[in-house]
Structures are given as structure tokens and as C-alpha cells.
Chains A and B, each alone.
Chain A
């Protein structure tokens, strides 16, 4: 029951937000619901509820391994949202707040879906619920970003439905009764029709890969993250992508059980390395620090995909990386939002010397840069080290080398952009300065807290999380 509350409470909150009359007090619903959600989520993490094998929704180990990270990120972002929306009183926020709450409920449903069709419905609904978030600024650029997000994302979603149909037909052809829970599909295992499983895997990887932002289906990401506000970017990059990643993990365990684990691992490795390479190339060239974060997100989605290709060990490391990446990336998005509002432009051509104008945000931005590029002792360093270890243990030395080269060049690209934003003398008259931005506690504390959590994850990875990741791996690889 509690696991259903994770879905129901945010959706009820969304309805409440849609009815709430006052523009000024409405944003407070966000942290209120976020707090309840996080508390509930961590309670379920500590005391795992029983999940029936046939149930369509449940807080199973895989959900427990990822959903609390999303919930935590969401809570911190919503705390930031209160002063943010307070400073944007000129825009009505009814649709924004309601959509943001609906996204949380639907994300919880997606993470807990143990049924192929339900998983697709949840992912589709998240995609649609995020549209008003991207369009919040209501500029022509935001419209363009939203259009591209819908067009590319919609195509991806359509292909993943086609893939789900193929997997359903694989089960039907193999004598299945039309039971599409993942447990039933895995139990059918070798009975699934091989050609249909292959077709399904390709389509589902492309479909959910689009949602995750793996290259070459990543094209919506820089536009969407570049135009969205910091909180929306953080929640899309840390929450929505992770639901697509767990979807790929769940489907992959079905493909494994059908006897195609080698093929699945190879495609994940190839698409992961390709994403990292593409992201690195664009990181070296981009002239916009918000788009830079999008390319960094594509790079980290590649890292997740690479991790997932190295068997049980790699999946464990990838789950660790979901936590460290989404929390660290969240801090960067929030800092970039601060800098964007202080400078009035996301382009390197107009912005420099931010260390003088917004010293705290700039300091956090630089710290976040080192954290996300895997400098010790932050979380990403340890999770990427684990992925590297898994690569070497499973005999993928070549892939490990390519991985390291990409990380190195991504570091060059990211640090180039970050330091050119932070360093130098500020421009005397920035082109377009909006209202004066002041670094109040509400704008600085959330990214700081996220970086502290990232540090904590790296230094003292809690045993309870490690055990949950181990349980999730055991769920995904029932017969190692």
C-alpha cells in the first residue's frame, strides 16, 4: 500500500495545485509533497515491503535501488523552486507546479512498474507531463525546444511501444498466455521467439534510449536542457532519464533469459561508447554552459549504458553511478540556473567573471565541475572506478581504455567552459540583465546540499544502499 502512496500522493498534490488559488503560496506545495515522498521512500528502503511476484506495481529491489535517489533530488530541487518561482511572480505557475508534481507521481509509477505495458504508459505520461515544464519561459526559443523534445521524444516513445508489441508477440508465439509482467516473461525465458526478441530489443533500446538521451537519439537534449530552467533540467536529467535506464535494465533481463545476453551486452557497450564519444566531441566545441550540461548528461548516460554491459558487477556500479550522477548533476544545473539569471545569457560570448558577481554560485559550480568529472573524493569518482573495475574484470580492456580517453577529453571540454564563465573580468554592461539576482540562502543551499550528499556517497557509501544495489542485481540476474 505504501508503495502506491508514492504515486498517489504526488498526483493528488498535482490536482490540489491545479485548484490552488494563490500564485504566491502555490509553490510551497512542491517541497511539502517532496518531503512526504522522500520520507516514505526512505522508509520503504529501510523496511522493504513484500512484493507479490504477479503484482504489476511494487517497490521491488530495482525500484528501491534508484527511486530514493530521484526522490532526494526532487526534494532538494523543489526547495530551490520556492524562491525561484517567487522571483518569477510575473509568470502564472499553476500549470508548472501541477505538472512538476504529476511528473513525480508518474516517475514513481515508472520506477515501480513490473509490467511491460504499464512501464510504457508511465514513461509516455512522464514525457507528456514534462512538456509544460519546458515551455514555462514562453519564449520562441522555449517553443522550439519543446517542439523538438516532443517530436524526437514522441518518436522514441512510439518506437518503444512497437518494441513492447514485438516482445508481447514473442511471448505469444512462444505459447504465452498474454501475461506481460517481467516475472512471467523471464520465466518463459528460452520459450520466447528469438527473432521477435531481437526485434523487440532493438526497438526498445532505441525507444527508451531516446528518453535516456543516448547518442544518436540525443538531439532533443541540448535544446531542452539549454532552454529549461535549472530545476527542470535537474529533474529531467536525474529523474526522467533514470526511469528509462531502469526500463532498459528490466527489458535486458528478459532478453538475457531468452539466451541473448551476449548480444544485449554488446549493443549496450557500443551505444554507450558512441554516446560518450559524441558527447565529448560536442563538449569540446560548445559555447553555451547550459547546453554543456546536456552534453555532460549524454556522456553520463553513455557511462550508465557501458556499466550495464559488464554483467552483474557492472550493473551494480551503474546503479551506484545513477545516484552519484543525478545528485551531482542536479547541483550543477541549479548553479547554472543561478549564473544564468545573474548574467542574463547562457552564452560564453556574453558571460565571464562570474566569480566576482555571484561568488558562491561560481564556487559551487567549480566544485560541481570537479565532482562530475570524477575527481576524488566525490561520488562519481568511486562509481566510475567501479565501472572501470568491472570492465577490466570482464576482460574489456579496450573498452576501458576508450572510456578513460573520453573521460579525459570530457574533462577538458567541461573545464574549458566552466572556467571561462567563472574567470576573467566581468563584462561592464551585460547585454540583457533581468532583475537583479541576489544570492540568497534559498538559491545557494540546495546545490550545496546536493554536493555534500555526493561527497558523502563517495566517502561513506551507506551499507543499506550497497545491499539494495546487490539485491537489485540479484533481481536482474536470477541465474548468474
Chain B
């Protein structure tokens, strides 16, 4: 079970790099959705010995939310706003990838220095979490389109979720609360759609959000 779980965490870390290297919005959204599904399977593997309804609920909610609902909304927003599919990055794709790869290595090194309980010692969850949080930040800062920033936020959130899995047995409430973060994302996307319906907003390019400054 541990090795399957680590395989999934490794997959999520690999998808981070794919997300950083995506040059088109649909592929970025698909990458993030796949990562969401991988994450949703993890609680089932982690607690496969004693599954109870709360863990199944977390898994189902995660797969549905991160894997289908939010990516679906994002795709809808992308169509509604009729935005160009090309991602115009502030930080180029290659530098992003290099940063992400360096960050992943640093995450593995840093995670080694944090003390872990014996039952968590063999898991890749902590380095996976740190690497995803970092990837999320790179996407948030380095992309100009609102939708790619939302994807960055999703990856950041996925990192936090990975870390939360360590606590799912001890304090399930805290981990379930993380579902609220998905709600934030939902509001982001709804904001885009509503705004789109009310007004013509050419490209959803956050670089045009510059009316407010000193």
C-alpha cells in the first residue's frame, strides 16, 4: 500500500512539472484535474486497513471537486470568455520548469530535516506537499491569465491537501475543512463567469487589472 501511495505522490509531483511546462490552457486544466483525481485516491490507500465513511467521503468529495467540478467550471469559463488558449507567462516555460525542478529537489532535502512519526517515515507526502506548494506559487506569480492563476491556486491547495493526509486519522475535521478551499476556487471561477456575462472583458488578462495603483 505504501508503495502504491508513494507512486501516486510521485505522479502528483511529476504532474507539477507538466503543469509548469504546459503552454496551453486546456492542457494545464487537464493536468490539474488529473492531479486532483490522484489526490482523491490517496486517503483510500492510506487508511485501507480501516476505512470509515468519513474517509470515503473525503475521497469522493476530493475526486468530484478537484477532478471534475472545478476543471469543468474552468473549461466553461474559458469558453464563455472566449480567451486565447495560449498561456502568456511572465516567467517563461523553461525557467518555470527549472525553478520547479530545483524546488522539488529542495523540497525533498528540506523534508528530510523535519521530524516524522515512524508510521509516516517512508511516505513521500511531505516532500510532495512542499513541492506542490512551491509549484503553485510559481504558477500564481508567473502566469498572467486569470484562469492559469486559478490553476496555480489549485496546485497550491493540492500541496496543502497532501500534507493534511498525515493528519487525516488524528484530526479528520481539520482535513475536511480543507474542502472549503475548493469553495474559494469555486468563487474565483464563478467570479470570472459572472463578470463575463455582465461585461465584455477581452482576454481575462490580469495584466489589464492595473487601474488601482499608487
- Using CB atoms and an 8 Å cutoff, list the residues of chain A in contact with chain B: 116-117, 120-121, 124-125, 127-128, 131, 138, 140-141, 143-148, 150-151, 154-155, 157-158, 161-162, 164-166, 168-169, 172-173, 176-178, 180, 193, 195-196, 199, 222-223, 226-227, 282, 285-287, 291
Cβ contacts under 8 Å, B163 to chain A: 162, 165-166
Contact of A165 among B174, B184, B198, B211 (CB under 8 A): B174
> In the bound complex, how far is the Cα of B184 from the Cα of A146, in angstroms?
13
Contact of B209 among A127, A147, A193, A286 (CB under 8 A): A147
Least CB distance from A61 to B in Å reads: 25
Contact mask B184-214 → A, CB, 8 Å, 1/0?
1001100100010011000000100101101
Cβ contacts under 8 Å, A141 to chain B: 211-212
A sample of 21 inter-chain contacts (CB < 8 A) reads A120-B174, A121-B180, A125-B180, A128-B183, A131-B187, A140-B211, A141-B211, A144-B211, A144-B212, A147-B191, A148-B212, A150-B184, A150-B187, A154-B181, A165-B166, A165-B167, A168-B167, A195-B113, A196-B114, A222-B212, A223-B212
Contact size class for B?
35 or more
Tell which of B25-33, B60-68, B152-160 binds the partner: B152-160
Given A162-B160, A169-B166, A223-B212, A150 and B188 touching (CB < 8 A)?
Answer: yes
> In the bound complex, how far is the Cα of B195 from the Cα of A173, in angstroms?
46
Q: Does B94 contact A (CB under 8 A)?
A: no
Among B116, B157, B212, residue most surrounded by chain A Cβ atoms (within 10 Å): B212
Cβ contacts under 8 Å, A164 to chain B: 174
Instruction: Give the top 5 A-B pairs by smallest Cβ distance, nearest first.
Output: A178-B170, A117-B174, A144-B209, A223-B212, A178-B171
Least CB distance from B203 to A in Å reads: 14
Given A117-B177, A124-B180, A223-B212, A158 and B160 touching (CB < 8 A)?
Answer: yes
Q: Does B164 contact A (CB under 8 A)?
A: yes
Find out whether the CB atom of B160 lies under 8 angstroms from the CB atom of A165.
yes
- Using CB atoms and an 8 Å cutoff, list the residues of chain B in contact with chain A: 113-117, 133, 140, 146, 149, 153, 156-157, 159-160, 163-164, 166-167, 169-171, 173-174, 177-178, 180-181, 183-184, 187-188, 191, 195, 198-199, 206, 209, 211-212, 214
Find out whether the CB atom of B153 lies under 8 angstroms from the CB atom of A143.
no
Given A131-B187, A147-B146, A196 and B115 touching (CB < 8 A)?
Answer: yes
Residue of B nearest to A125 (CB): B180
Cβ contacts under 8 Å, B115 to chain A: 173, 193, 195-196
Residue of A nearest to B159 (CB): A162
Find out whether the CB atom of A161 lies under 8 angstroms from the CB atom of B160.
yes
Given A117-B173, A121-B180, A157-B184, A145 and B212 touching (CB < 8 A)?
Answer: yes
Chain B interface SS verdict (over half): helix
> In the bound complex, how far is the Cα of B209 from the Cα of A143, in angstroms?
9
> In the bound complex, how far is the Cα of B115 from the Cα of A178, in angstroms?
17
18 additional contacts, CB 8 Å, given A117-B171, A196-B115? A116-B174, A128-B187, A143-B191, A144-B209, A154-B181, A161-B178, A165-B166, A168-B174, A169-B166, A172-B166, A172-B170, A173-B115, A173-B117, A177-B170, A178-B169, A199-B114, A227-B212, A291-B214
Find out whether the CB atom of B212 lies under 8 angstroms from the CB atom of A158.
no
> In the bound complex, how far is the Cα of B211 from the Cα of A193, in angstroms?
46
Residue of A nearest to B206 (CB): A147
Cβ contacts under 8 Å, A291 to chain B: 214
Contact of B177 among A120, A144, A177 (CB under 8 A): A120
Least CB distance from B120 to A in Å reads: 9
> In the bound complex, how far is the Cα of B136 from the Cα of A154, in angstroms?
13
> In the bound complex, how far is the Cα of B179 from the Cα of A117, in angstroms?
12
Cβ contacts under 8 Å, A117 to chain B: 171, 173-174, 177
> In the bound complex, how far is the Cα of B170 from the Cα of A223, in angstroms?
40
Least CB distance from B146 to A in Å reads: 7
Cβ contacts under 8 Å, B195 to chain A: 143
Least CB distance from B142 to A in Å reads: 14
> In the bound complex, how far is the Cα of B22 from the Cα of A112, in angstroms?
45
Cβ contacts under 8 Å, A154 to chain B: 153, 181, 184, 188
Contact of A155 among B140, B164, B211 (CB under 8 A): B140
> In the bound complex, how far is the Cα of B184 from the Cα of A127, in angstroms?
9
Given A116-B174, A124-B184, A158 and B157 touching (CB < 8 A)?
Answer: yes
Least CB distance from B196 to A in Å reads: 11
Find out whether the CB atom of A168 lies under 8 angstroms from the CB atom of B170.
yes
Cβ contacts under 8 Å, B209 to chain A: 144, 147-148
Contact of B171 among A121, A180, A193, A196 (CB under 8 A): A180
Find out whether the CB atom of B181 lies under 8 angstroms from the CB atom of A157.
yes
Find out whether the CB atom of A180 lies under 8 angstroms from the CB atom of B199.
no
Residue of A nearest to B129 (CB): A162
Find out whether the CB atom of A158 lies under 8 angstroms from the CB atom of B170.
no
Residue of B nearest to A175 (CB): B117
Find out whether the CB atom of A140 lies under 8 angstroms from the CB atom of B199.
yes
Find out whether the CB atom of A146 lies under 8 angstroms from the CB atom of B191.
yes
Cβ contacts under 8 Å, B167 to chain A: 165, 168-169, 172, 178
> In the bound complex, how far is the Cα of B177 from the Cα of A180, in angstroms?
13
Cβ contacts under 8 Å, A287 to chain B: 214
Least CB distance from A167 to B in Å reads: 10
Cβ contacts under 8 Å, B153 to chain A: 151, 154-155, 158
Cβ contacts under 8 Å, B166 to chain A: 165, 169, 172
> In the bound complex, how far is the Cα of B167 from the Cα of A214, in angstroms?
30
Cβ contacts under 8 Å, A138 to chain B: 198
Residue of A nearest to B212 (CB): A223
> In the bound complex, how far is the Cα of B180 from the Cα of A117, in angstroms?
12
Given A155-B156, A173-B117, A196-B115, A161 and B181 touching (CB < 8 A)?
Answer: yes
Least CB distance from A258 to B in Å reads: 14
Cβ contacts under 8 Å, B114 to chain A: 195-196, 199
> In the bound complex, how far is the Cα of B180 from the Cα of A226, in angstroms?
28
